[in-house]
């Protein structure tokens, strides 16, 4: 038996005070003591004005990933009529867990110190948020669960610190060569942000505001496209990845294998066309007219892609007027898996929504190009 599933609450949490563009390197540090040459170009393109770091200027971590997740969950429950002891499923997503083992959801549950309950961890990059969300959605849709929390959180700043890059850059300088994929590594230092968000799903809309989940669709194009964003590996000449497991301890340090990397050329070529292809497929599959969409909330890594996806959708015949789009990227930065529900939380708090209005959530992931789309309707 299928049940209706509703989002009945949203929340988000950001650590410390916002960090403006001119102060970023005060927190992340200078690689080999030099200001980044690409920073002004990247910031001009991405349109981000401020972001949040769980860091001090001394590069000390102030919050763990799991702690930020818990803060957003506690905030969510404080705003809800549901009793926290009644939560039946905790589904967590992150691309930056505090440890390889045990699972991120285990650590979040441990800090919550609530009753024993079912947990689920989704790993990956940005799309892990909808993977965790769909597990929560399925649990209620099937009738197995009455409610679930979907938690999303990221602590990426710790991987962006200059000390993680210095050894490779110094070694390359000694050899008289350019650092391997220097732009692809430096590029992401000025994109990413820390934070957490959470949503409460229930089988009833309750008496307050609620959004009905109409459908959740996801697709991977890894069968067609090579890896674009990666960590803990290097790209081989054939496009596949060479795992950190085959490198020596010293090579892992010298080659800064645990710094996140992105193939910016591949990103520019493939990300938007495949994204539009997925969105068009979803709307056609569910017989949804673009004109019936009231609002669109996309996760975009950069404002560079914001206009591009709007225009590409017009090019493929499913254009949605730009006036219907909403993003908070410029003031919170790119929070990866935590971005879409943080944006939904702000949107819900700042807009007067009417019953029947439809909201489209869009999440791309450039890891090896996968995408997700969710349709919500206002109750």
* Per-position DSSP letters for 22-44, written without gaps between them: GGHHHHH--BTTB--SSHHHHHH
Q: Is the dihedral of CA 31, 229, 97, 89 positive or negative?
A: positive
Mean pLDDT of 252-280: 94
Same domain for 274 and 169, yes or no, is: no
Same domain for 47 and 23, yes or no, is: yes
Higher pLDDT, 212 or 34: 212
Q: Give the 3-state secondary structure of residue 222.
A: coil
Kindly tell me if the per-residue pLDDT of 167 is higher than 80: no
pLDDT band with cut points at 50, 70 and 90 for residue 181: very low
Mean pLDDT of 35-64: 95
Mean pLDDT of 160-187: 66
Question: Residue 288's pLDDT is what?
Answer: 98
Same domain for 278 and 183, yes or no, is: no
Question: Residue 234's pLDDT is what?
Answer: 94
The answer to the question of residue 90 being in a domain is yes
Mean pLDDT of 160-182: 65
Number of structural domains the chain divides into = 2
Question: Residue 179's pLDDT is what?
Answer: 46
Structural domain span for residue 193:
6-210
Same domain for 143 and 54, yes or no, is: yes
Same domain for 219 and 196, yes or no, is: no
Backbone dihedral angles phi then psi of residue 266, each to the nearest 5 degrees: -65, -40
Kindly tell me if the per-residue pLDDT of 58 is higher than 60: yes
CATH at residue 167 = 3.40.47.10
Same domain for 225 and 153, yes or no, is: no
Taking Cα atoms as reference points, which of 49, 54, 47 lies closest to residue 28?
Answer: 54
Q: Give the 3-state secondary structure of residue 88.
A: coil
Same domain for 196 and 325, yes or no, is: no
Instruction: List the beta strands (DSSP E) in the chain.
Output: 6-13, 19-20, 50-51, 89-93, 118-122, 147-154, 195-202, 211-220, 229-230, 233-235, 241-243, 261-262, 295-298, 358-365, 370-378
Strands 358-365, 370-378: pairing is antiparallel
Kindly tell me if the per-residue pLDDT of 355 is higher than 70: yes
Whole-angstrom Cα distance, residue 88 to residue 126? 25
pLDDT band with cut points at 50, 70 and 90 for residue 175: very low
Same domain for 176 and 60, yes or no, is: yes
Mean pLDDT of 218-242: 95
Structure tokens at 353: 């929504």
pLDDT band with cut points at 50, 70 and 90 for residue 356: very high
pLDDT band with cut points at 50, 70 and 90 for residue 184: low
DSSP state of 255: T
Question: Residue 76's pLDDT is what?
Answer: 96
Q: Which residue has the tokens 């089988």?
A: 203
Q: How many CB atoms lie within 10 A of CB 298?
A: 23
pLDDT band with cut points at 50, 70 and 90 for residue 304: very high
pLDDT band with cut points at 50, 70 and 90 for residue 187: confident
Q: Give the 3-state secondary structure of residue 288.
A: coil
Structure tokens at 271: 């990300």
The answer to the question of residue 365 being in a domain is yes
Question: Residue 254's pLDDT is what?
Answer: 86
Question: Residue 336's pLDDT is what?
Answer: 98
**Would you say 119 and 91 are in contact if contact means Cβ atoms under 8 Å apart?**
yes
Question: Residue 113's pLDDT is what?
Answer: 87
Taking Cα atoms as reference points, which of 79, 149, 154 lies closest to residue 112?
Answer: 149
Structure tokens at 24: 């970023």
**Would you say 271 and 299 are in contact if contact means Cβ atoms under 8 Å apart?**
no
The answer to the question of residue 296 being in a domain is yes
**Would you say 131 and 218 are in contact if contact means Cβ atoms under 8 Å apart?**
yes
* Average pLDDT value for the chain: 93
Q: What would you report as the CA-atom Rg of the chain, rounded to the nearest whole angstrom?
A: 21
Kindly tell me if the per-residue pLDDT of 324 is higher than 80: yes
Same domain for 333 and 284, yes or no, is: yes
Peptide bond into 102 cis (omega under 30): yes
Backbone dihedral angles phi then psi of residue 38, each to the nearest 5 degrees: -95, -10
- What's the N-to-C CA distance of the chain in angstroms? 21
Mean pLDDT of 358-363: 98
Kindly tell me if the per-residue pLDDT of 82 is higher than 90: no
The answer to the question of residue 251 being in a domain is no
- Ramachandran bin of 197, using left for φ above 0, alpha for ψ from -120 to 50, beta for the remaining angles: beta
């Amino acid at each position: 038996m299928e049940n209706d599933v509703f989002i009945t609450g949203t929340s988000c949490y950001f650590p410390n005070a916002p960090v403006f563009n001119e102060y970023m390197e005060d927190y992340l540090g200078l690689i080999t003591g030099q200001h980044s040459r690409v920073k002004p170009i990247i910031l001009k393109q991405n349109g981000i004005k401020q972001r949040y770091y769980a860091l001090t200027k001394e590069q000390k971590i102030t919050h763990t990933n799991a702690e930020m997740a818990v803060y957003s969950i506690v905030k969510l429950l404080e705003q809800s009529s549901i009793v926290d002891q009644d939560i039946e499923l905790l589904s967590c997503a992150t691309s930056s867990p505090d440890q390889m083992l045990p699972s991120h959801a285990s650590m979040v549950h441990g800090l919550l110190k609530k009753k024993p309950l079912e947990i689920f961890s989704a790993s990956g990059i940005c799309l892990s948020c909808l993977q965790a969300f769909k597990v929560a959605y399925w649990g209620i849709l099937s009738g197995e669960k009455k409610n679930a929390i979907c938690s999303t959180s990221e602590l990426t700043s710790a991987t962006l610190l200059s000390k993680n890059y210095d050894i490779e850059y110094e070694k390359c300088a000694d050899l008289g060569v350019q650092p391997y994929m220097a732009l692809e590594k430096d590029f992401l230092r000025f994109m990413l942000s820390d934070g957490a968000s959470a949503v409460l799903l229930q089988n009833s809309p309750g008496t307050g505001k609620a959004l009905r989940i109409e459908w959740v669709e996801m697709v991977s194009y890894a069968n067609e496209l090579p890896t674009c964003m990666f960590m803990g590996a290097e790209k081989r000449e054939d496009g596949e990845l060479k795992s950190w497991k085959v490198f020596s301890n010293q090579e892992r340090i010298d080659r800064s294998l645990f710094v996140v990397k992105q193939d910016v050329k591949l990103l520019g070529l493939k990300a938007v066309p495949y994204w539009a292809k997925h969105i068009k497929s979803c709307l056609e599959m569910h017989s949804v007219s673009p004109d019936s969409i009231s609002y669109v909330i996309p996760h975009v890594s950069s404002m560079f892609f914001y206009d591009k996806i709007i225009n590409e959708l017009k090019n493929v015949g499913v254009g949605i007027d730009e006036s219907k789009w909403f993003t908070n990227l410029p003031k919170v930065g790119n929070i990866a898996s935590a971005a879409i529900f943080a944006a939904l939380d702000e949107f819900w708090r700042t807009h007067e929504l009417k019953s029947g209005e439809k909201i489209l959530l869009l999440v791309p992931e450039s890891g090896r190009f996968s995408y997700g789309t969710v349709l919500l309707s206002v109750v």
